[in-house]
Structure 1
Amino acid sequence: MANFAYTILYVKDVAASIEFYEKAFGFQRKFISPDNDYGELSTGTTTLSFAQTALAKTNIPGGFIESDPAAKPFAFEIGFTVDNVEEVFQKALTVGATRVSEPKTKPWGQTVSYVRDPNGFLVEICTAME
């Protein structure tokens, strides 16, 4: 069986991306390479990582579609469970996120909201499922 170890987001500025997630969600910096082309955050059992697009291009010979905050988001999201969705949603907006969907309670009782980070990646902010 495999173990889900990390997600890597390809970004133009690794340090700025890590700083956004620290400020918006309270994560702690785990590692940033000396060249600032790769970094990781401590987020629980799965690591959230960032690789500079220039570095990622050396690993993906066929290239890839870069995230663009001005375009529609990818059909992919990262999700964070929190105790107070409204508070974290507002804090993320304050430090640079873009509003996608206000917090709302789903029929099954979970509160869910969406923002896009400064790189254009879709982030779900929600309560944990019971």
Structure 2
Amino acid sequence: MVKFGYTILYVEDVEKAITFYENAFGFSRKFVTPENDYGELSTGETTISFASKKLASQNLSDGFIESSLEDKPFAIELGFITDNVGELVQMATSFGAVLVSEPKQKPWGQIVAYIRDLNGFLIEICTAIPE
């Protein structure tokens, strides 16, 4: 059996990233190393984690493409489901997120908006898909 445990985002400042997600989305801090080079948020069954770029470089000797607000986002996103997309977008942008796309209703009834976090990672904020 395989279980999806976590997604790790490589960031410049783990503490700053954790604090942003706590403030912008209401997640709680699960764990941060004493060196502040790795941390996790309690987000449900699957954890969002953060590793410093320095730690990531130690693990990936050939390097990696860094996320940045100056570049286009990667072809991946984090998806957060909420009952009030507009309110959560407003909260996140008040803590420094960058608005990519205002909330829009999709033909299947779901409301979807896109933002980028402080490190340039793409986040979809949406309602649940109607049954």
TM-score using structure 1 length: 0.98
User: Structure 1: where are the runs of 5+ without partners?
Assistant: none
Aligned twin of 1:28: 28
Deviation at 1:110, TM superposition (A): 0.4
Aligned twin of 2:39: 39
For this pair of structures, how many residues does the alignment match? 130
Equivalent position SS for 1:123: strand
Deviation at 1:75, TM superposition (A): 0.6
1:76-112 C-alpha deviation (Å, 9 max, x unpaired) = 1011001100000011110000010000110000000
Aligned twin of 1:120: 120
Which letter maps to 2:101? S
Provide the alpha-carbon RMSD of the alignment: 0.6
User: Structure 2: where are the runs of 5+ without partners?
Assistant: none
Matched, 1:87 2:87: yes
Identity %: 63
Aligned twin of 1:13: 13
In structure 2, what is the Cα distance between the partners aligned to 1:73 and 1:18? 20
In structure 2, what is the Cα distance between the partners aligned to 1:23 and 1:83? 18
TM-score using structure 2 length: 0.97
Deviation at 1:2, TM superposition (A): 1.4
Aligned twin of 2:71: 71
In structure 1, what is the Cα distance between the partners aligned to 2:83 and 2:32? 28
Matched, 1:54 2:54: yes
Equivalent position SS for 1:100: strand
Deviation at 1:60, TM superposition (A): 0.8
